[in-house]
Amino acid sequence: MSDLQVFRQESRDWLEENCPQSMRSPVIAGEGACWGGRNWTFTSEDQKLWLERMGAKGWTAPDWPTEYGGGGLDKAEHKILKEEMARIRARSPLDSFGVWMIGPALLKFGSEALKQQHLPAIIRGEIRWCQGYSEPNAGSDLAGLQSKAVDMGDHFIANGQKVWTSYGDKADWMFCLLRTDPDAKKQMGISLVLFDMETPGVTPKPIKLISGSSPFCETFLDDVRVEKDQVVGEVNQGWTIAKYLLTHEREMIGGMGLTDAGSKTLGAIAAKTVGTTDGRLNDLFMRTDVARWEIDAAAFAFTAERVTDEAKAGQGIGATSAMLKYYGTELNKRRFETMLKIGGSDDLIWEGDISNNGWTARTLLRTKGNSIEGGTSEVQLNIIAKNILGLG
Amino acid sequence: MALVLNEEQQMLKESAQGFLSEHAPVSELRAQRDAGSDRGYSSTLWSQMVNMGWAAILVPEEYGGLAFGHVGMAQIVEQSGRTLTASPLLSTAILGVTAINLAGSEDQKTELLGAIAGGELTIALAVDEKIHHDPMQTAMPAVAKGDGYVLNGEKRFVVDGSTADKLIVATRTAGSPGDMKGISLFLVDRTASGVSVQRTEMLDGRNAAIITFTDVEVTADAMLGEQDRGFRALSATLDAGNAHLSAELLGIAQESFDRTLQYMKERKQFGALIGSFQALQHRTAHWWSEIEMCKSVVLKVLQSLDEGDVRGSALASIAKAKLCEVAELSTNEAIQLHGGIGMTDEYEIGFFIKRARPAQMLFGDYNYHANRFALISGY
Ligand SMILES: Cc1cc2nc3c(=O)[nH]c(=O)nc-3n(C[C@H](O)[C@H](O)[C@H](O)COP(=O)(O)OP(=O)(O)OC[C@H]3O[C@@H](n4cnc5c(N)ncnc54)[C@H](O)[C@@H]3O)c2cc1C
Ligand SMILES: Cc1cc2nc3c(=O)[nH]c(=O)nc-3n(C[C@H](O)[C@H](O)[C@H](O)COP(=O)(O)OP(=O)(O)OC[C@H]3O[C@@H](n4cnc5c(N)ncnc54)[C@H](O)[C@@H]3O)c2cc1C
């Protein structure tokens, strides 16, 4: 057996032994997901166990170095682990802005001390992070941000306002972009800093969304003390790191275009709901919608696979995160439009058991944000046109 | 299997690129068309292709072939989409070889596959009877007589039908149109008595034919595969054909895109390069993203053919449907973004739409394959 075959067998055995049965079904649109952190209430004992076991093995961050508690897997092993998890429909043990966003930025740009301080806690799911990028007047034009940090000698004092801070009221720490040089050119005077959300002067206020839930906040910063050793990379050099982090965020959000392994296909849901005659869905226009969506979704899934394989083989153009983000999120929006049509009038019911508390309608509304968060679809198209196609 | 080309496939792609852009560029297609060539392709070019071994790529080694697989073959086909090269590659070296290899007897394989690999034999696949592709609806009767059969009926959109040495004809020997069972395949000489060929020049300047069979008598050993059980091999042959047509459409989409992108960096209006207008940038970026999707579905279906994946038919329909959609988008955007000059015959960009439409329709367009995919998926 080759090393990879051995790895596959060992992973399979380990997962078989350690993944609780109730964790072997997909998390659909967030229900049953585990975010961890100081304030997290586990939805079940199994959820807790699953996070602890995977965290201890470093498989919440499979490709991070073992010295910080990560899994230390190379790309080929990582792919095998994903396949083995999909095989038993194991759900992700941890959803985490730490793993998806600030962790990779720390690994690439952070000091050794920052890595030692933050990475192990991210891997074990002990600290939950939020992202303080957007401001009322700095959305797509993020580099126009105005919240600032003033150098007080041994520390900074931050003031300003962030907005659309996802889970700002649930998170333990924030990674935050602040202007540290008001006189420098837009992109040049920005720093990426880290602080505890319990620091005096940090006030997250939930904002209610069209879906009825309040997953994000406006976050006010009033004379917040930021320690100097919590600057990632150099002072005033935060923009490069911020952009690097955004490419990770985009890949993660673009992944929403992928159907969760093991969940029912749109075609199967439609067939069950409206029935078939001679193997054809009874509503022929719906059938067309579903087939079109499934064809595009398959093409997208193969593209995600190809891009990963090309990167592994050192081929391809890279810089594909804008395309995956654009296509994946537009696809996810179409998916829920089709789902709602399949679900019919029952799925319009906002609360109660008939519609599982308006699950489809609320999720549909939430997906509208997919093509806004992490950079809008239009911004992704701008990036493709400029960076990949060379159109000035 | 990783969704990337291996080194040998990459090399074949590069050599096909080099050869076709030198010997068979778009200007060759124009020359063929303007000369009123009645073959629809250049025999010299075909001989060169055969000499390079291209006709032998799908032929198994024991019959004198290279057994290099569908992914490899499709690298040539994709390039021939970029250069709009007409040749018997699809009809003979892909459809012919696949059908004979799947359904043929040992004798047929030995005799025919070697001849194809050596460039001594060309084939055309005669399936459609109506103006829309639907192989299960095959109605043309083949009736047993003595120790042979008699064929009567009409086939249309037979690509290379006016030039091929032999035709592979789908007929009905039992059941009724719509039944999977009862379809039988025959090998018929194009020049056999009772076979009448009407060449139909298509909008791509290439060759197709409407072929009428009037009391055409064939011997029993002209049958390819078992009586009444021809549909499986036919369907698998069509899957391969559609995978390669998808590869050709990918070449067409990419070349239309590349030429348009180049034009956007040269053409000025309102004192600026038209590529600087955001309205066009967004359309182009979307278009590029769609082509990225196409690269993945095409490679996926080709790999599945080489691996004998059971999802082959579903993947073939996904690929052909997606490529029909994006080839349509590509050839339309190409003309629109070129403005008035895109409408002229003198400029080459208009040749791409003319090849794309027949390639889209051959063996099923978007609607056919979306429907087929849905049926396979249980709805
Ligand atoms: C669900 C959700 C969660 C979020 N979570 C976070 C978070 O955790 N942390 C955080 O910091 N931010 C978060 N955001 C904010 C998000 O990053 C911004 O909303 C996004 O960058 C867009 O900024 P904006 O809302 O100010 O829109 P604007 O930038 O004002 O855009 C308005 C419209 O104009 C278009 N537009 C803008 N500029 C251009 C241009 N140059 N060319 C063409 N069109 C253009 C946009 O595409 C959009 O359609 C979240 C947003 C959502 C919806
Ligand atoms: C069939 C036909 C018949 C015609 N008949 C006549 C006739 O009888 N008399 C006559 O005088 N002319 C005629 N025309 C010419 C026609 O008016 C021009 O072709 C048309 O105005 C476009 O100009 P163009 O071809 O130079 O394209 P361009 O202006 O070069 O345009 C190329 C592309 O860039 C886009 N573009 C250009 N500027 C912008 C912008 N600011 N923002 C976004 N996109 C932009 C265009 O939409 C197009 O997609 C005819 C054209 C055709 C095709």
| CATH class name, domain B124-228 | mainly beta
What's the complex ipTM?
0.96
Distance CA A119, CA A110 (A): 10
**A158 in contact with B at a CB cutoff of 8 Å?**
no
| CA distances from residue B91 to A327, B161, B162, B172 in whole angstroms, order as listed | 35, 9, 12, 22
Write the residue in A280, A305, A384 that is nearest to B285 by C-beta: A384
Write the residue in A276, A315, A389 that is nearest to B261 by C-beta: A389
Which pLDDT score is estimated for A308?
86
- Within 230-269 of B, beta carbons closer than 8 Å to A belong to 261, 264-265
* Residue B148, phi then psi, degrees to nearest 5: -135, -155
* Residue A80, phi then psi, degrees to nearest 5: -65, -45
Residue B140 structure tokens: 């043309």
Searching chain B, which residue's CA lies closest to the CA of residue A330?
A: B286
* Per-domain residue ranges of chain B: 7-121, 124-228, 232-376
pLDDT in tens, A235-284: 999 999 999 998 888 888 877 778 765 678 999 999 999 999 999 999 99
Which pLDDT score is estimated for A386?
96
Count the residues in chain B. 379
- Within 291-330 of A, beta carbons closer than 8 Å to B belong to 291-292, 294-296, 298-300, 302-303, 305-306, 309-310, 312-313, 315, 320, 323, 326-327
Domain B7-121 has CATH 3.40.50.2000: no
Which pLDDT score is estimated for A260?
65
pLDDT in tens, A7-16: 999 999 999 9
| CA distances from residue A118 to A4, A175, A196, A321, B52 in whole angstroms, order as listed | 31, 12, 12, 26, 60
Q: Which of A245, A373, A391 to mutate to test the pocket of ligand 1 (most atoms within 8 A of CB)?
A: A373
Please, is A180 exposed, middle or buried when counting C-beta atoms within 10 Å of its C-beta (0-12, 13-18, 19+)? buried
Distance CA A30, CA A263 (A): 13
Q: Which residue, judged by its Cα, is nearest atom 51 of ligand 2?
A: B340
Q: Which of B262, B280, B333, B349 to mutate to test the pocket of ligand 2 (most atoms within 8 A of CB)?
A: B280
Pairwise CB contact (< 8 Å): B285 & A299: no
* Other beta carbons within 10 Å of A272: 12
CA torsion sign for B112, B115, B116, B120 is negative
* Other beta carbons within 10 Å of B98: 22
Distance CA B192, CA B212 (A): 12
B172 bridge partner residues = B141, B183
Which pLDDT score is estimated for A313?
82
Searching chain B, which residue's CA lies closest to the CA of residue A285?
A: B371
| CATH class name, domain A3-95 | mainly alpha
Contacts of B7 (CB under 8 A, 6+ apart): none
Which pLDDT score is estimated for A254?
79
Max Cα distance, chain A (Å): 77
Q: Which atom of ligand 1 is nearest to the CA of A209?
A: 1
Q: Which residue, judged by its Cα, is nearest atom 14 of ligand 2?
A: B340
Residues within 6 Å of ligand 1 by CB:
A 131-134, 139-140, 164-166, 216, 369, 372-376, 378-379, 382
Span from the CA of B277 to the centroid of ligand 2 (angstroms): 15
Does B124-228 match B232-376 in CATH topology? Answer: no
Pairwise CB contact (< 8 Å): A392 & B378: no
Searching chain A, which residue's CA lies closest to the CA of residue B318?
A: A295
Residue B116 structure tokens: 């194809």
* Domain covering A129-237: architecture: Beta Barrel (2.40)
Pairwise CB contact (< 8 Å): A392 & B273: yes
- Within 351-370 of B, beta carbons closer than 8 Å to A belong to 370
Domain A258-388 has CATH 1.10.510.10: no
The CATH number of the structural domain formed by B232-376 is 1.20.140.10
Distance CA B14, CA B11 (A): 5
Digit-by-digit pLDDT tens for chain B (379 residues) are: 899 999 999 999 999 999 999 999 999 999 988 988 888 899 999 999 999 999 999 999 999 999 999 999 999 999 999 999 999 999 999 999 999 999 999 999 999 999 999 999 999 999 999 999 999 999 999 999 999 999 999 999 999 999 999 999 999 999 999 999 999 999 999 999 999 999 998 999 888 999 999 999 999 999 999 999 999 999 999 999 999 999 999 999 999 999 999 999 999 999 999 999 999 999 999 999 999 999 999 999 999 999 998 899 999 999 999 999 999 999 999 999 999 999 999 999 999 999 999 999 999 999 999 999 999 999 9
Q: Where in chain A is the domain with CATH 1.20.140.10?
A: 258-388
Pick among B136, B262, B268, B289 to test the A interface (most A CBs inside 10 A): B289
Which pLDDT score is estimated for B37?
81
Size of interface A-B (CB pairs under 8 A): 124
Q: Which atom of ligand 2 is nearest to the CA of B341?
A: 25
| SS3 annotation, A262-311 | CCCCHHHHHHHHHCEECCEECCHHHHHHHHHHHHHHHHHHHHHHHHHHHH
Which pLDDT score is estimated for A315?
77
Ligand nearest to the CA of B338: 2
**A200 in contact with B at a CB cutoff of 8 Å?**
no
Residue A385 carries which DSSP code? I
Residues of chain A falling short of pLDDT 70: 28-30, 260-262, 317-318
Q: Which residue, judged by its Cα, is nearest atom 30 of ligand 2?
A: B339
A219 and A199 Cβ atoms separated by less than 8 Å: no
**A273 in contact with B at a CB cutoff of 8 Å?**
no
- Within 129-168 of B, beta carbons closer than 8 Å to A belong to none
Please give the model's pTM, rounded to 2 decimal places.
0.95
Write the residue in A280, A306, A323 that is nearest to B379 by C-beta: A280
